[in-house]
């Protein structure tokens, strides 16, 4: 502190009039130059600065500037640096943990999004298939209803052409049934034609349509 000088007249502390002052802008003034410093600092040109007297004991705010050695200051700075570096390391570790969780949640989100999209496509396909099956079932039910309705009529009525009304209804119902089954994409069952037989010595022999008239005549002669 003895090495301080006035920042205007450069008078050292040991020769000047005590006490010296330190201004708000961080400059030293003797009592002679104090009024000029309060009006305007000659070093930084600051106007209306506030000053504090450098008298023992110094206030706590001024003690580090005058009574603390460079070694103590460096040690304090190292402690401050170590403390802040430790806090920064802890914050970075926490940030990395959160970042890993975020990446995991992000990957799960996109996987769930793809799964939902696939399920939606399967749902639409199943819905269309279900609608087609419902239509086929409706056609089959209508065909069965027409068939059962035609079978309820027991007494046939003969028309002028010699064809009974029952046969007409049966033919219409079969035609409508065939139409419904074809429109629904259902293959109707194919009935095998009835086979005819003739008797020979008590045996029933099926008649082959490809047999010629001559072969039939010879078989009749044998009988």
* DSSP collapsed to 3 states, 29-75: ECCCCHHHHHHECCCCCCECCCEEECCCCCCCCCHHHHCCCHHHHHH
Residue 168 scores a pLDDT above 50: no
- The lowest-confidence range among 20-29, 35-44, 144-153 is 144-153
Mean pLDDT for 156-183 is 52
Mean pLDDT for 73-94 is 89
pLDDT confidence of 97, banded at 50, 70, 90? very high
pLDDT of residue 143: 86
Residue 60 scores a pLDDT above 90: no
% pLDDT > 90, the chain:
22
Mean pLDDT for 4-20 is 86
The burial class, CB within 10 Å (0-12 / 13-18 / 19+), for 209 is exposed
% pLDDT > 70, the chain:
66
Pairwise CA distance, residues 135 & 199, whole Å: 50
- How much is the CA Rg of the chain, to the nearest whole Å? 59
pLDDT confidence of 182, banded at 50, 70, 90? low
Number of H-type helices and E-type strands within the chain:
5, 5
User: In the chain, at which residue ranges do the beta strands (DSSP E only) sit?
Assistant: 21-23, 28-29, 51-53, 197-200, 203-206
Dihedral sign (CA 57, 59, 60, 66): negative
pTM metric for this prediction: 0.36
Question: What digits encode the pLDDT tens for the residues 139-166?
Answer: 988 888 888 888 776 545 544 545 444 5
pLDDT confidence of 194, banded at 50, 70, 90? low
Which residue in this structure is represented by tokens 């064809």? 163
Residue, of 70 and 44, whose pLDDT is higher = 44
Mean pLDDT for 194-200 is 61
- Report yes or no: 159 and 169 within 8 Å, Cβ to Cβ: no
Mean pLDDT over all residues of the chain?
77
Q: What b-and-e string marks burial along 117-126, b requiring 16 or more CB atoms within 10 Å of the CB?
A: eeeeeeeeee
Pairwise CA distance, residues 41 & 48, whole Å: 8
């Amino acid at each position: 502190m003895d090495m301080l000088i006035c920042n205007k007249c450069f008078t050292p502390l040991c020769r000047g009039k005590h006490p010296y002052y330190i201004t708000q802008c961080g400059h030293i003034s003797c009592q002679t130059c104090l009024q000029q410093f309060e009006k305007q600092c000659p070093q930084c040109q600051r106007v209306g600065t506030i000053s504090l007297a450098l008298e023992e004991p110094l206030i706590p705010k001024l003690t580090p500037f005058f009574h603390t050695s460079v070694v103590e200051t460096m040690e304090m700075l190292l402690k401050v640096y170590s403390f802040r570096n430790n806090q920064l390391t802890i914050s970075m570790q926490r940030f990395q943990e959160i970042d890993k969780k975020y990446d995991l949640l992000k990957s799960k989100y996109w996987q769930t999004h793809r799964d939902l999209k696939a399920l939606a496509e399967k749902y639409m396909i199943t819905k269309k298939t279900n609608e087609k099956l419902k239509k086929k079932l409706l056609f089959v039910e209508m065909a069965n209803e027409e068939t059962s309705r035609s079978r309820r009529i027991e007494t046939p009525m003969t028309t002028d052409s010699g064809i009974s009304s029952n046969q007409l209804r049966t033919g219409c119902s079969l035609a409508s049934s065939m139409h419904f089954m074809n429109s629904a994409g259902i293959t109707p069952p194919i009935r095998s034609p009835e086979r005819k037989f003739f008797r020979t010595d008590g045996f029933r022999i099926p008649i082959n349509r490809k047999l010629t008239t001559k072969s039939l005549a010879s078989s009749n002669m044998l009988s």
